[in-house]
């Protein structure tokens, strides 16, 4: 479906999107929408229900969501969420991402190299303490440092007291600060993954579309002390699965939304941020596609990255189309004007402060993205080098003065990633780095002193070869030596990647400091706006997404499109028919076993379905549950109409797309002969 068609639906959003009139909201577990649920659906989740769902939900720190689905530590998520582990476990002889994997015994389960799962155990409001650290008269840089210091202090105290990962989360763009405590799991093992082709049937053409026919599912098991962890909270399986008209809930970790942004920020995204992001994504897609076409092994190495780029490109296209729609922006301006008119005098300057700060950010954004975000150095080896260089410098500082990623409470997670045994491939590292260095020259200027220092008299391709081939950081033992040796070891290192990270570091830190100061100005201004909004509307609302646990709700139902009704679910019969229509050609081809096992399947079994729950990127892998907290489905995508949900909610056509719980069991039993796994899901234990 073309984007221009669905944008016309925005004309009626004023009525559809108001909280309380629609299934809107990515709600905090410590501020759930009890009143809305009772008023609209006659259901009020108890404290016990909320705690159970909260502690059954899992965050994949590689990006995405999941849930415990058995007492023996079995975790369910999407194939594309598990792809990072699948790729890192694969090699030239074993392509688990493409061909799938099934462990029939515990001994066969494969440990992921660097996967960390988090389970939210508790939430504490620390707003007053964080805000008290910022004193009147502080400059923006001083205020940012003070806020960073108190957040690190709170996190360190919590970690030392509880042993849990502790993160202070910024909510309402600075209106509130909550301390989230997580149970960390780092011994995570792969149990089952289907073939990538059935998990992503239809490929890029069907991405963000509906109807869909994807078995986008993956299973892992969490271990502690070498044994499967026994968990008290896990989600039981629904035999019936999702039914039309049923109230359902989604417990997951939406990554980021921008619904509370001011018009000035949205205009910046429309005019600068999204167009620039799309240019970068298009460049990356061409580079990765060309590299993949050279050989099957190249395609395997690049597959996960290429999927991520294509997915991001399509999402940004949809988001930009929304921002370019004058009716959406008119609604945002109208809402902002009404809030400003009702806000107290001391908050009136907040919007102008944000607009001015955004102008400063715009002036430095290109350099920030290139240097600090590292878009000019697209190489895992460079990421490793930067971490080592910065760790050596930051470790000598008090915890409260360090960059956020080097605080004590994040040390274990940082080390897990830094010392990963992830395989690195010279050719792939070279092509990525050469491409990004070429782009970097256009951002910094080829003749600039920094660019000349980066290239060291070489062409980008030649310099990339020199950096990758000359680096010893592929060896984990070398990383550990440099990490443990501190600043003296880094100063003595002659590794070319370490030297490159040193060349860039000072200017990257400088532009980061500028951006952080402007972010602090915006944070204080947004806090004023949030207080005004709370005073007018009350606190029964939800903040923008922050890749932390949220509860969404909705109804299982289809929608109307171009005068036609789109049914709420698809079936296995539809899967085979769609493949037939495309003559079983990529990306609508079926894996061989799916052709061989067709006669064993009940083709009327539901495969995918849609609901009105409010989701965004990061919700992938979230369980869809009923009132009894039973699994009825698994979120894996949104339809094309949902791409505008970053900025505004609509339920007229926007839908979350899920794998049906019955479809999962049907495939496990009749296609993969994975009866033990299916039994564990149904029984809730091995």
Judge if 228 and 278 occupy the same domain: no
- Rounded CA-CA distance 234/67 in Å is 7
Q: pLDDT of 378-387, one tens digit each? A: 999 999 999 9
- pLDDT(172) > 70: yes
Q: How many Å is the maximal CA-CA distance in the chain?
A: 74
- pLDDT(631) > 70: yes
At 224 the three-state DSSP class reads strand
Among the candidates 324, 341, 356, a domain finishes at 324
Judge if 191 and 238 occupy the same domain: yes
- Rounded CA-CA distance 600/84 in Å is 32
Judge if 568 and 655 occupy the same domain: yes
Judge if 192 and 317 occupy the same domain: no
- Rounded CA-CA distance 588/208 in Å is 15
- Grade residue 537 by pLDDT with cuts at 50, 70 and 90: confident
Gyration radius (Cα) of the chain, Å: 25
- Grade residue 200 by pLDDT with cuts at 50, 70 and 90: very high
391 phi and psi, to 5 degrees?
Answer: -60, -40
Please check whether residue 53 lies inside any domain of the structure.
Answer: yes
All residues at 6 or more sequence positions from 466 whose CB lies less than 8 Å from its CB, including other chains:
456, 458, 496
- Grade residue 32 by pLDDT with cuts at 50, 70 and 90: very high
385 phi and psi, to 5 degrees?
Answer: -60, -45
CA distances 98 to 165, 197, 343, 680, Å, are 34, 7, 55, 25
pLDDT at 21: 62
- Rounded CA-CA distance 534/624 in Å is 30
Judge if 72 and 193 occupy the same domain: yes
How much of the chain is helix, strand and coil, in % rounded to 5? Answer: 55, 15, 30
CA nearest 429: which of 476, 371, 497? Answer: 497
- Rounded CA-CA distance 119/253 in Å is 11
pLDDT at 166: 98
Beta strands at 65-68 and 187-193: parallel, antiparallel or unpaired: unpaired
Mean pLDDT of 539-553: 95
Entry pTM: 0.94
pLDDT at 491: 97
Mean pLDDT of 162-186: 97
- The rounded percent of the chain whose pLDDT value lies above 70 is 97
CA nearest 32: which of 533, 541, 616, 556? Answer: 541
Judge if 19 and 108 occupy the same domain: yes
Judge if 600 and 657 occupy the same domain: yes
What are the CB-based long-range contacts (under 8 Å, 24+) for 18-24?
Answer: 19/541, 22/612, 22/649, 22/650, 22/651, 23/552, 23/553, 23/554, 23/555, 23/612, 23/613, 23/614, 23/651, 24/614, 24/649, 24/651
Q: Across all residues in the chain, what is the average pLDDT? A: 95
Among the candidates 276, 294, 324, a domain finishes at 324
- Grade residue 69 by pLDDT with cuts at 50, 70 and 90: very high
Please check whether residue 443 lies inside any domain of the structure.
Answer: no
Q: pLDDT of 450-475, one tens digit each? A: 999 999 999 999 999 999 999 999 99
At 147 the three-state DSSP class reads helix
Q: Are 497 and 437 in contact (CB under 8 A)?
A: no
Beta strands at 630-638 and 236-237: parallel, antiparallel or unpaired: parallel
- Grade residue 22 by pLDDT with cuts at 50, 70 and 90: confident
487-525 burial, b at 16+ Cβ within 10 Å, e below that, comes to eeebeebebbbbbbbbebbebbeebbebbbbbbbbbbbb
Judge if 623 and 584 occupy the same domain: yes
Please check whether residue 396 lies inside any domain of the structure.
Answer: no
Q: Are 152 and 409 in contact (CB under 8 A)?
A: yes
**DSSP label at residue 174:** G
pLDDT at 394: 98
Please check whether residue 457 lies inside any domain of the structure.
Answer: no
Establish whether the linkage from the previous residue to 587 is cis, with ω within 30° of 0: yes
Please check whether residue 465 lies inside any domain of the structure.
Answer: no
3-class secondary structure per residue, 605-656: CEEEEEECCCCCCCCCCCEEECCCCEEEEEEEEECHHHHHHHCCCCCCCCCE
Neighbours of 317 (CB within 10 A): 18
Beta bridge partners of 556: 611
Q: What is the DSSP string of 33-66?
A: -HHHHHHHHS----HHHHHHHHHHEEEETTS-EE
Judge if 278 and 237 occupy the same domain: no
Question: Mean pLDDT lowest for which of 96-110, 136-150, 524-538, 564-578?
Answer: 524-538
Please check whether residue 539 lies inside any domain of the structure.
Answer: no
**DSSP label at residue 561:** E
Beta strands at 630-638 and 656-660: parallel, antiparallel or unpaired: antiparallel
Instruction: Give helix 296-323 / helix 274-292 axis angle, nearest 10°.
Output: 160
CA nearest 182: which of 117, 275, 228, 254? Answer: 117
3-class secondary structure per residue, 194-215: CCHHHHCCCHHHHCCCCCCCCC
284 phi and psi, to 5 degrees?
Answer: -65, -40
pLDDT at 270: 98
Total domains in the chain come to: 2
Please check whether residue 454 lies inside any domain of the structure.
Answer: no
- Grade residue 16 by pLDDT with cuts at 50, 70 and 90: very low
- pLDDT(13) > 50: no
All residues at 6 or more sequence positions from 213 whose CB lies less than 8 Å from its CB, including other chains:
201, 202, 570, 574, 575, 578, 607, 608
By residue range, what is the domain housing residue 20? 3-116+186-243+548-683
Q: Are 287 and 431 in contact (CB under 8 A)?
A: yes
Please check whether residue 590 lies inside any domain of the structure.
Answer: yes
Judge if 558 and 661 occupy the same domain: yes
pLDDT at 61: 95
Among the candidates 324, 348, 372, a domain finishes at 324
485 phi and psi, to 5 degrees?
Answer: -80, -15
Neighbours of 374 (CB within 10 A): 17
pLDDT at 322: 94
- pLDDT(1) > 60: no
- Rounded CA-CA distance 229/231 in Å is 6
Judge if 278 and 190 occupy the same domain: no
Judge if 295 and 225 occupy the same domain: no
- pLDDT(50) > 80: yes
């Amino acid at each position: 479906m073309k984007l221009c068609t669905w944008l016309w639906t925005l004309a009626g959003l004023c009525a559809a999107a108001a909280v309380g009139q629609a299934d809107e909201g990515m709600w905090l577990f410590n501020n759930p929408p009890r009143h809305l649920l009772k008023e609209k659906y006659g259901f009020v989740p108890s404290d016990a229900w909320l705690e159970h769902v909260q502690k059954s939900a899992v965050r994949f720190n590689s990006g995405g969501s999941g849930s415990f689905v058995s007492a023996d530590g079995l975790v369910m998520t999407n194939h594309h969420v598990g792809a990072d582990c699948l790729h890192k476990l694969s090699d030239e002889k074993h392509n688990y991402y493409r061909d799938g994997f099934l462990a029939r015994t515990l001994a066969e389960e494969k440990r992921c190299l660097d996967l960390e799962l988090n389970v939210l155990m508790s939430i504490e409001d620390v707003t007053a303490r964080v805000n008290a650290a910022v004193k009147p008269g502080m400059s923006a840089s001083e205020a940012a440092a003070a806020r960073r210091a108190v957040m690190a202090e709170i996190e360190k105290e919590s970690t030392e007291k509880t042993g849990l990962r502790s993160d202070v989360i910024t909510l309402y763009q600075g209106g509130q600060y909550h301390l989230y405590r997580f149970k960390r799991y780092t011994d995570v093992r792969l149990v089952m993954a289907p073939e990538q082709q059935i998990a992503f049937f239809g490929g890029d053409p069907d991405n963000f579309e509906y109807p869909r026919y994807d078995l986008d599912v993956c299973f892992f098991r969490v271990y502690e002390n070498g044994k499967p962890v026994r968990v008290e909270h896990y989600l039981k399986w629904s035999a019936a699965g999702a039914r039309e008209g049923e109230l359902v809930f989604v417990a997951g970790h939406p990554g980021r939304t921008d619904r509370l942004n001011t018009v000035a920020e949205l205009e910046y995204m429309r005019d600068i941020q999204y167009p620039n992001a799309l240019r970068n994504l298009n460049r990356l897609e061409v580079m990765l596609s060309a590299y993949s076409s050279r050989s099957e092994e190249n395609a395997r190495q690049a597959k996960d990255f290429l999927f991520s780029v294509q997915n991001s490109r399509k999402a940004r296209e949809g988001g930009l189309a929304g921002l370019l729609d004058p009716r959406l922006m008119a609604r945002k301006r109208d809402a902002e004007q009404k809030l400003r008119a009702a806000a107290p005098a001391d908050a009136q300057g907040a919007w102008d402060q944000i607009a001015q700060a955004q102008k400063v950010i715009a002036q430095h954004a290109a350099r920030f993205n290139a240097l600090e975000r590292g878009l000019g150095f697209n190489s895992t080896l460079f990421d490793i080098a930067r971490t080592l260089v910065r760790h050596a410098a930051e470790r000598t500082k008090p915890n409260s003065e360090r960059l956020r990623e080097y605080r004590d409470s994040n040390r274990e997670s940082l080390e897990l990633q830094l010392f990963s045994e992830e395989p690195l491939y010279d050719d792939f590292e070279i092509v990525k780095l050469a491409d990004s260095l070429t782009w970097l020259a256009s951002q910094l200027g080829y003749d600039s002193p920094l660019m000349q220092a980066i290239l060291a008299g070489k062409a980008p391709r030649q310099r990339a070869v020199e950096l990758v081939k000359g680096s010893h950081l592929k060896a984990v033992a070398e990383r550990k030596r440099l990490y443990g040796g501190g600043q003296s070891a880094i100063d003595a290192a002659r590794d070319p990647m370490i030297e490159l990270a040193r060349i860039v570091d000072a200017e990257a830190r400088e532009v980061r400091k500028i951006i952080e100061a402007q972010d602090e100005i915006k944070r204080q201004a947004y806090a004023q706006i949030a207080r005004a909004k709370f005073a007018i509307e009350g606190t029964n609302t939800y903040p923008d997404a922050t890749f932390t646990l949220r509860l969404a709700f909705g109804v299982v139902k289809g929608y109307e499109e171009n005068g036609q009704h789109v049914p709420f679910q698809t079936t296995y019969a539809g899967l085979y028919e769609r493949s037939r229509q495309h003559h079983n050609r990529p990306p609508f081809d079926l894996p061989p076993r799916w052709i061989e096992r067709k006669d064993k399947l009940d083709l009327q079994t539901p495969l995918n379905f849609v609901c009105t729950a409010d989701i965004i990127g990061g919700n992938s892998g979230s369980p869809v549950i009923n009132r009894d907290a039973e699994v009825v489905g698994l979120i894996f995508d949104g339809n094309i109409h949902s791409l505008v949900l970053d900025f505004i909610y609509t339920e007229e056509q926007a839908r979350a797309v899920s794998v049906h719980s019955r479809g999962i069991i049907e495939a496990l039993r009749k296609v993969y002969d994975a009866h033990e796994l299916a039994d564990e899901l149904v029984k809730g234990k091995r």
